[in-house]
Amino acid sequence: MARSHNNSMPTGGKTLIAAAQIKDLAVAVGFNLVGIADPCVSAYAREYQAWLAQGQHGAMQYLEDSVAARTNLSRAFPWVKSVISVAMTYYTPEPAPPSAGEASLSDAPATLPSADQAIATARIARYAWGRDYHRVLMGHLRQLENEIRRLTADDFVSRAYVDTGPVHERELAARAGLGWIGKNTLLINPRHGSWFALGELLTSLPLEFDSAQPDRCGSCTRCLDACPTSALTPYQLNATRCISYHTLENRGDIPDEFHQPIREAQYILGCDICQTVCPWNHRPLLSEEQDFQPQAPAPTVKLQAVRQWRPEDWDRLTRGKAHRRAKLNMWQRTARILEKQ
């Protein structure tokens, strides 16, 4: 956890909460990492605009719509003086395979076939094994927000986001000292790796900022080498080549060139390969959050079952989960690609 050491500051008869107090509160409400970031103009504004201009964001139009706020928070939130950046691990152990008699619409063996075998089961990315991380983290952020409000002046203003607003959350997390942005473009904490969901609370509080951490990727290229679609160049993701984008965001056809890589990766939803190979993920922090424990249909799903899902099956199995972003026709489209020989 990034920490600073200022004490409560009296101003105009009111006591402002200190960064150290906020960090204790964040840990108390369940966050694993917390730091304070300066809400200054993005250091990546030019790269970000070039990335958009090249169309590497694909069909994610909302990234274009919010570019001004994303690169300069003060434009959208003139009152913002600090950003409390938080992270929560969603890493849970692989659940045991169901025993005989426990078969369900989503049951699947724990061992996946090799790439040259007919694929009957496919993986779901770890972040989507449990309840929707947006909801889980937002619940904890609201608790934190309420605690801070209780202890601060009446004019405290804040805004909470979990991958839902016009904020560059990885850059803010790196600025807040939670880790560095790796060549796989993910936030990597030097103790616990990258299996974290991020959130942030924009605030009107003048808090002491934390310091960024050094980049520790060094000469490693494991994520670049392992990506089945060559979607990564160091520190940049071409979303239009990424399996996670195609399985979750692309509502149309997936280009033919990605069908074989998708079969080799064996993911029907998301993709964890560039995290799994990262050496900083050798000692993940296990989630104690009940909501992140795996629920059907995770961690693997039978493709035949997916193809037979009716709208009501999709609705029941994805309700409250992050993978609801993929509509039924998208699940079944990707299942057909995975099964094709």
**Residues identified as active-site:** 163
Select the residue interacting with ligand SF4 from 277, 294, 296, 339 (CB under 6 A): 277
Select the residue interacting with ligand SF4 from 37, 87, 198, 274 (CB under 6 A): 274
In angstroms, give the least distance from the CB of 197 to ligand SF4.
15
β partners of residue 187: 181
Task: Specify the 3-state DSSP secondary structure of 124.
Answer: strand
Report the candidate in 203, 58, 194, 68 with the shortest Cα–Cα distance to residue 145: 203
Task: Determine the Cα–Cα distance for residues 234 and 219; give it in Å rounded to an integer.
Answer: 11
Select the residue interacting with ligand SF4 from 177, 182, 199, 297 (CB under 6 A): 182
Q: Which stretch binds ligand SF4 (CB under 6 A): 64-72, 112-120, 178-186, 293-301?
A: 178-186
In angstroms, give the least distance from the CB of 182 to ligand SF4.
3
Task: Determine the Cα–Cα distance for residues 41 and 43; give it in Å rounded to an integer.
Answer: 6
In angstroms, give the least distance from the CB of 12 to ligand SF4.
46
Select the residue interacting with ligand SF4 from 34, 243, 303, 337 (CB under 6 A): 243
How would you label 14-31 residue by residue, b for 16+ Cβ within 10 Å and e otherwise?
eebbbbbbbbebbeebbb
Q: Token pair for residue 324?
A: 């609801």
Task: Specify the 3-state DSSP secondary structure of 22.
Answer: helix
**Residue 184 binding ligand SF4, by CB under 6 A:** yes
In angstroms, give the least distance from the CB of 256 to ligand SF4.
16
Query: Using alpha carbons only, what angle is made at residue 319 by residues 317 and 322, rounded to the nearest 5 degrees?
Result: 100
Evaluate the CA torsion angle 317, 323, 327, 328 in order and state its sign: negative
Select the residue interacting with ligand SF4 from 137, 176, 217, 305 (CB under 6 A): 217
CA 103 to chain centre: 30
In angstroms, give the least distance from the CB of 58 to ligand SF4.
12
Q: What is the helix (H) or strand (E) element at residue 10, kind and residue range?
A: strand 9-11
Site size toward ligand SF4 (CB under 6 A) is 24
Comparing every residue's Cβ against ligand SF4, the nearest one is 182
Q: What's 281's DSSP letter?
A: G
**Residue 280 binding ligand SF4, by CB under 6 A:** yes
Is the CB of 56 or the CB of 158 nearer to ligand SF4?
56
**Residue 229 binding ligand SF4, by CB under 6 A:** yes
* CA-to-CA separations, 274 to 33, 185, 226, in angstroms, rounded: 22, 9, 7
Q: Token pair for residue 116?
A: 């040259």
Task: Determine the Cα–Cα distance for residues 262 and 200; give it in Å rounded to an integer.
Answer: 33
Q: Which stretch binds ligand SF4 (CB under 6 A): 89-97, 140-148, 153-161, 229-237?
A: 229-237
**Residue 221 binding ligand SF4, by CB under 6 A:** yes
In angstroms, give the least distance from the CB of 177 to ligand SF4.
18
**Residue 220 binding ligand SF4, by CB under 6 A:** yes
- Region 252-271 residues binding ligand SF4, contact defined as CB under 6 A: 271
**Residue 337 binding ligand SF4, by CB under 6 A:** no
Decide: residue 38, CB within 10 A, 0-12 exposed, 13-18 middle, 19+ buried. middle
Q: Which stretch binds ligand SF4 (CB under 6 A): 69-77, 157-165, 176-184, 195-203?
A: 176-184
* Length, in residues, of the chain: 341
Residues near ligand SF4, by CB under 6 A:
182-184, 188, 217, 220-223, 227, 229, 231-232, 237, 242-244, 271, 273-274, 277-280
